[in-house]
Amino acid sequence: MGLVISLPFKRSGTHSNVKTPDHGGDAWAVSSRLAIPVTSIMDFSASVNPLGTSTLAAKAIEGGIQSLPFYPDKDCSRLRDAISLYLQDVSSENILVGNGSTEIIHLFSQVFLERGDEAIVLQPTFSEYEYAIDRNRAKPVASRMRKGFKLDADALLSRITPRTKAIFLCNPNNPTSTTHDRNGVEEILEEAAKRKIMVLLDECFMEFVEDYDHLSFSRESKNYENLIVLRSLTKVFGLAGLRVGYAIGSKKTITHLSNFKVTWSVNTLAQAAGVAALNDEDYLKETKRLIRNERAYLTESLPKIGVSITPPKANFMLAELHGQMTASELKQRLLTHRILIRDCSGFRGLGSRFMRLAVRKREDNLALIQALKELLRN
């Protein structure tokens, strides 16, 4: 009989009800369960570019194979320069690249939160924020949106206490696909700056928004030492499997974050693909055209079959069922059609009949509408 010892495991956080969050994009598990290729699944649960990876990025990945015997550039210098040119009026010294936006969310929480601190999270939103807060023994404090999933800056600011050290905002918001008024975000930033509260502004879906230039704070972030703007190459450039995200902020704040970042977290192929994708202007134009047209198609089609939606601004939409079927039940039934959706019942503030649907190509969107007609009619 082997020796039994007790290991000194730490608690996951301050709240026992907060666990590792569920996410969309679980196509690999579905592939294994149904014994079908992952490429045969119409994945509406992950809000990733339906065009796939750009040709330029794919070629860069092939060309980067010869560099694999060498460690990656830990500073991601070429990629940061490419991001700087892409964003315009943002210096590379104001940019930090991470292993997807998720690494930066956890890095932000690690650096700026301690045991007993509070962090305000505008709900419903991406569950990784609350998980990152909890992992660092801080307390997530929910602030609810107004009707129509609109930002209520006054309500959020009223949640601030002497223990508040951070605020998490997502714009456009996931899973609601709504955008926050620029004046409201600015009001929060200014008040947070006065009180020395850090703000993480997640703009990972901003490229899909029509009024991108007006809403984004990427260029202004260097003027706020309490602001980190989060962006991603995963969504708009179809690089989910490589994990590339980046933070934008003042030189002082970015340097401080960099000092805590895991070395070599962004691999060589991800860096090469990122540089190439950022220079693929034709791909980006085609992406925006496709999303605009297909978003309009789904927005028009879904209400006709009894599925209401919140008017979407990004490349996905929040939908609500009105019959007896729950989103969880619908998700299981759609798998027989090789269609995967995101059940949103686990998001704080949403009920059992909410689901998130990514905008995909017309062929897939037609298949979704047809499958929903069949299933919701019965």
Kindly list the structural domains of the chain, giving each domain's residue range(s) and its CATH number in brackets, ordered by start. Answer: 27-52+282-377 (3.90.1150.10), 55-278 (3.40.640.10)
Bridge-based pairing of strands 139-144 and 118-123 is parallel
* Residues in the chain, pLDDT under 50: 13-16
- How do residues 255-298 score in pLDDT, each as one tens digit? 999 999 999 999 999 999 999 999 999 999 999 999 999 999 99
Predicted local confidence at residue 4, as pLDDT = 60
- How do residues 188-207 score in pLDDT, each as one tens digit? 999 999 999 999 999 999 99
Write the single-letter amino acid at 196: K
**How far is Cα 90 from Cα 182, in angstroms, rounded to an integer?**
19
Are the C-beta atoms of residues 177 and 155 closer than 8 Å to each other? no
Sign of CA dihedral 206, 210, 215, 217: positive
Q: How many residues does the chain have?
A: 378
Predicted local confidence at residue 16, as pLDDT = 45
- How do residues 310-329 score in pLDDT, each as one tens digit? 999 999 999 999 988 999 99
Distances (CA, A) of 206 to 126, 149, 180, 336: 15, 17, 11, 33
- Spell out where 185-256 has E strands: 198-202, 227-232, 245-248
**How far is Cα 238 from Cα 225, in angstroms, rounded to an integer?**
31
Are the C-beta atoms of residues 290 and 312 closer than 8 Å to each other? no
Predicted local confidence at residue 24, as pLDDT = 63
Here the contacts of 229-234 (C-beta below 8 Å, separation 24 or greater) are 229/201, 229/203, 230/101, 230/104, 230/105, 230/200, 230/201, 230/202, 230/203, 230/204, 231/101, 231/203, 231/204, 231/206, 232/100, 232/101, 232/204, 233/274, 233/277, 233/278, 234/48, 234/100, 234/101, 234/204
Whether the full predicted model's pTM is greater than 0.85, yes or no, is yes
N- to C-terminal Cα separation, the chain: 57
Sign of CA dihedral 222, 185, 247, 16: positive
Q: Exposure of 30 by Cβ count < 10 A (0-12 exposed, 13-18 middle, 19+ buried)?
A: middle
Distance of CA 160 to the CA centre of its chain: 25
Sign of CA dihedral 90, 96, 101, 105: negative
Helix (H, G, I), strand (E, B) or coil at 298: helix
Are the C-beta atoms of residues 127 and 22 closer than 8 Å to each other? yes
